[in-house]
Amino acid sequence: MPETFLVIGGNGRVGREVVTQLLDAGHGVRALVRSEPKVDALRRSGVEILRGDMDNAEALRSAVEGIRALYVATSDPEESVEQMRRFVGIAREAGVEKIVRLSAMSADPDAASDLSRRHGLRERALEESGLAWTHLRPTWFMQMMLEYAPGGRLDLPGGEGRIGWIDTRDIAAVAVAAMTGEGHEGKAYELTGPAALSYQELADTMSAATGREFVYRDVPRDEYRAMMRAEGEEDWYIDLVLQLYDRISSDELALVTDGVEQALGRKATGFEVFCRDHADALIRQL
């Protein structure tokens, strides 16, 4: 019988890839999802799907039953910190041994940025749980470019700031290695791709890979706030995102690390390769 691993947030950008890679490696997968399974990986046979969210202790107890190692990713409202504190208690009581958590670059309980602080506090809750832990601290996902370029326009308030964009397939590969293998306990992996690129450079690379035109426009902050409101985003999330774009514009996210190589013994995927592998999906946005 293959071991079953729990994935919380299996509908998410990284979670869906974690499910796929676990299945492809022949492992069993149980997924806890809040909403209707949205992604193909979850619809594949053999995935045990449970409904529930991080506020539902009963659902969490059922989800962790018989589980040795799990992956967890959620979104980042203030209450996510308290949810994580409660969750690690539930996991410990059930006999879970290892938790691999999707955090973010610059996680720090004392950070000025809400996002970094909330990630830091959730990391701390995990470290204080007594369970084995691995923190995944990625920078921004290359896969965001499959959503952020409708009509070929990257209308974003990123200035000329650069980011060490990472492929979610690499983050998931580290998650799977940490869940299923040894030697990753107590590690906080800072995960980036091989180069720090500006939005202009992304647009140029996407255009070259697809033979179609992608254009970046540096959008004023207020205009971007109005765009997000029009899309129905909540104010706490808009504030969080704008704080992030301020950090991007000042080049704070221009770091490149060797975290993928440390964890997997191979180089991180470059943006050109990402574009080549996703050329059809990039073009579908046009």
Ligand X SMILES: NC(=O)c1ccc[n+]([C@@H]2O[C@H](COP(=O)([O-])OP(=O)(O)OC[C@H]3O[C@@H](n4cnc5c(N)ncnc54)[C@H](OP(=O)(O)O)[C@@H]3O)[C@@H](O)[C@H]2O)c1
Min CB(95)–ligand X separation in Å: 21
For the four alpha carbons of 203, 208, 209 and 210, in that order, the dihedral sign comes to positive
**Which one among 138, 164, 194, 259 touches ligand X, defined by CB under 6 A?**
138
Choices 43-51, 69-77, 123-131, 180-188 (CB under 6 A): range interacting with ligand X: 69-77
- Alpha carbons 53 and 139: distance in angstroms, whole number: 25
The amino acid at 45: S
**Which one among 4, 5, 6, 11 touches ligand X, defined by CB under 6 A?**
11
3-state secondary structure of 44: coil
**Which one among 131, 144, 188, 238 touches ligand X, defined by CB under 6 A?**
144
Residue 41 corresponds to which tokens in the numbers above? 């990986």
Residues in 84-113 that interact with ligand X by CB under 6 A: 102, 104
Residue 255 sits in the site that holds ligand X (CB under 6 A): no
Q: Which residue has the tokens 């504030």?
A: 239
The amino acid at 133: W
Compare residues 9 and 120 and give the one whose CB is closer to ligand X: 9
Residue 13 sits in the site that holds ligand X (CB under 6 A): yes
- CB of 70 closer than 8 Å to CB of 3: no
Compare residues 76 and 209 and give the one whose CB is closer to ligand X: 76
The DSSP code sequence of 63-85 is HHTT-SEEEE-----THHHHHHH
- Alpha carbons 187 and 185: distance in angstroms, whole number: 5
CA 277 centroid distance within chain: 19
**Which one among 5, 87, 133, 140 touches ligand X, defined by CB under 6 A?**
140
**Which one among 34, 68, 187, 212 touches ligand X, defined by CB under 6 A?**
34
Compare residues 14 and 203 and give the one whose CB is closer to ligand X: 14
Residue 74 sits in the site that holds ligand X (CB under 6 A): yes
DSSP assigned state of 169: H
Q: Site residues (CB under 6 A) for ligand X?
A: 9, 11-15, 33-35, 53-54, 73-76, 102, 104, 115, 138, 140-141, 144
